[in-house]
Amino acid sequence: MTEQYWMRPAALEDWPDIVALDQEIFGAYGAQEEPAIIRSRLVTFPQGCAVLEGSSAGETPFIAGYLTTEKWVELREPALDEDPQESHQPDGQVLNITTLAVAPACQNQGLGPRLLDRAIDIARQEGCRQIILETAHAEQFYLRYRFRRIGARTERGISMAIMVLDLTDRVSNGQ
């Protein structure tokens, strides 16, 4: 059976499934975030959150991946478990990708690029000039999309690259 995937806005009802996926992906190396922080992202900036749902014929849909973001006024270093009720700035021109994740069973099917393209669309719709993120394991993925490494940091014993994309330099589909 072939699975089909579609993007939709994330909803608060997705929170338990997103938390479970966050734990599955990031818990293996200690980078999972507090469930309350994930919930706060869905409530504080819902237009900056999306899920990729998947389904096989006749099967119950499942969340194959998700995206959460927030906006900042200035470029700065991201941090784990940062509460968007304190850090999100609606007038900001920097989009912080707080999480972009694809379920292990769904990886290598082109879903990561779909979520990243959605983040770029959100940034443009929101009037952002830059996108920032941190990653422990996906630096090469982001480099293909013309992100550049601007630094590194360690939190919880995890070494992470800090990466930025200037949207004025962006060419579609990582070309």
Q: Over its length of 175 residues, how does the chain's per-residue pLDDT go in tens digits? A: 567 999 999 999 999 999 999 999 998 888 889 999 999 999 999 999 999 999 887 788 999 999 999 999 999 999 888 999 999 999 999 999 999 999 999 999 999 999 999 999 999 999 999 999 999 999 999 999 999 999 999 989 999 999 999 998 544 444 3
Instruction: Residue 35: give its domain's CATH number.
Output: 3.40.630.30
Structure-block tokens of residue 14: 């997705």
- Domain carrying residue 107: 4-174
Domains: count for the chain? 1
Q: What is the DSSP string of 93-142?
A: SEEEEEEEEE-GGG-SSSHHHHHHHHHHHHHHHTT-SEEEEEESS-HHHH
Q: Rounded to whole angstroms, how far apart are CA atoms 27 and 123?
A: 28
Statement: the pTM of the whole predicted model exceeds 0.75: yes
Residue type, 95: L
Please check whether residue 62 is in contact with residue 4, taking contact to mean a CB–CB distance below 8 angstroms. no
Alpha helices for the chain (secondary structure H) = 15-26, 35-44, 84-87, 111-125, 139-144
